[in-house]
Each structure stands twice: as C-alpha cells, then as structure tokens.
Structure 1
C-alpha cells in the first residue's frame, strides 16, 4: 500500500513540474517571437519602432494624422524623388495586393510625398491608394528606423528612397521592402502582412497626443 501511494505521489509531482515548465516557457518574453502564425507558418516580423506623431494633408487639403492609421495595416511609400522616378516603384504592388486579397488581408496603401502641397493638375492615385503631402519629416524618421535593415544608402536624404514600409495596427514599423531591387521582398511582404492580420501587433504604449510636425 505504501509503495502504491509513493508511486502515485511521484506521478503527481512529475505532472505538476511539467505543467510549471510549460507555463514558464509560454511566459518567456521571446516565446511569441518564435510562434508561427497559421496563414504563413513563419514567425511574426520584428518591431523596429513606432512612427512618430504626424499630421499630413491629403490631395484635397484635409488633415490626416497618426490616429488614422491605427486599427489598420498600412503600407507606406515615401515619394521624395523626381516625378519620373516613381512609376517603377508601383509595378509589382497590384499583384501583391491581389495575393493579400486572396488571403483576406486588407492593406491600406499610403503614398507620402515630401513636397508641402500638391500640383494643381495632379491626377488622383490609382487602385484606391491614398496620397499625403508635407511628409519630409515622417520620411526622415522612417529612414532612421530602416537603417537597421536596409543598405547604408537608405539614409542618403538626397537620393530617392525605394523602400515600402509596413506599419501594423498600433503604428509600429514592422518591415522594409525594396520591391525594385530585392526579388524576395514581395513574398516577405505578403508573409508579414498575413501574420500581422492573424496575430495582431506586439503590445505597445499608445502614442502621445498628435502634434503637427
């Protein structure tokens, strides 16, 4: 009888220790970083930092601030170069949007112009994309975050920046993609956007009250 009770006690102890190990493993800070998401079977993309508070203007002059991005996935393109350099940046994007639509991933595309005001004869952006103006300071902030990922010339302010910037539902910068020169960028963008829709953004503090740059 004592032997049976002793065996039962050892079994209960082993099960309890196993449960504690599982709980501790789940609670590790890096546990989420190694958890794959169901849409793409890859880990969530890293968080490079938060977009700073901003207030830009639409083609019609309406204000568009930080809060308008919250709750949505957004893909930002900073159009700081001459007009004739931008067309090739967008060639692959409709195909990427189609792939994301097949996955059920809504993505807001925002073209951020560094110039303060739009030309009077500018046609509206295609594919339902949004265009904003006076974004030079926002571009500079995004480039600083991109230095950890992109080549050194990403910080050369006098050169057009070809990177697309993925922003999560909480305003966090989650990826930089050079769709012009990197043949793997489109696939990574689809993977990362699918993850963020499924697992959501990493918890971050709410940004401060929106201020004009």
Structure 2
C-alpha cells in the first residue's frame, strides 16, 4: 500500500493529507495509550485550519505547516494526558537521569533501572507529534526486539516531552555497514547514504543506522536502537 493520498484542493493543487503508516504497522500496535494519543492528534491534521490548504511544496512551507500543526497537537495532547493521568511528573525522572550522569543526546535524556531504559524525548528530530508517534509505531513493527512502550507525556520547563521505556539489551560491539545492510535487506530496505535506508514500496526511511545505534549480540543477532524513522 502507499502511505500517500492525493486529493485535489480547491485551487487545483494537491491538498494536504496527513500521512499514514502501513496498515500492518497499525495492526501490530497493541498499546492503548499510543493508539489514544494518535487518535487525539489525528483530528488536528484532518480538521485544523492549518491543514485545510494545499500540501507544502518546499521545505520552508513544510516547516511552517508543521509549526502550526504542532501548536494544536500539543494543546490537545496536554488536555488528553491530564484527563487520562498520562501527564507524568518531571522531577523523579530528572533526579534519576542526573544521578546517572545526565546521559543522552540531541533528542533523548536516558536513565536505566532494573533492566529497562527510560527515555524522555524532546522531539528535536520531528516537526510534529504525528511524525514522532509514527516513528514509535514503525520502530515497534520493524524492530520489535527493541520496541518502545509509550508511557505518557511530561512538561519540562514549559516544553512537552514524550516518555517511553525500552529493554536495556546489550551488544558486544557495533555493527559494520555490511552487517546492517544484510540485516535490512529482508525488510526490502536498500542503502541511501550516511547510514540511511529506504523502503520505496512503503515510502519509509530509516536513518542513523550506524555502529552506535546497531549493536551485535553475542549470538550474532543485531539490535537496533534509536533510529529516526519517517515517511517520505
């Protein structure tokens, strides 16, 4: 199936239509909280004023649309999280994270407890919450061994973050580019550049599959952590 839909807008151009993940990825999702959060923001992308115009034709238009949509997404997500007790307190996470040295990168703050990673994501790599939650769905579909559990949301200094958990699995070394390419081939992903892979049939790009994010276990199997996955 295609993740793209084309509908003509009133001015003759292609109307903006929110992208959807492959149906197999949606069907694989058994997390009620993740499903509910997606339902909350889907309405923003279908019905908000920002979504009524034509599809973006360049990067600047895409950034502007994402910025407008994200305002509506966060307003409704906050309301949902509070009503469903999914707005988590920030202080316990911050304390545990700092106690373990403040580990993390450009998007995640991470700590580990009882064999589980807890990760707080600031969405630096995603224009909208829809694209971020799609990333979770696609990761869990493609790489279930290292799948995420969506725990809820968190306000950190006025900014909305996502909180997920993930098994703290270990590898003995980083994978080589050749090992990663061989691992991705059965999924119909082919290399692009800079550790990125594409499945043209589904329009899915998986980025950052370098040796720090793809580890080799002692039995030779590969473990994929923290790739950036998005739809074309």
- TM-score when scaled to structure 2? 0.22
- TM-score when scaled to structure 1? 0.23
Larger Rg: 1
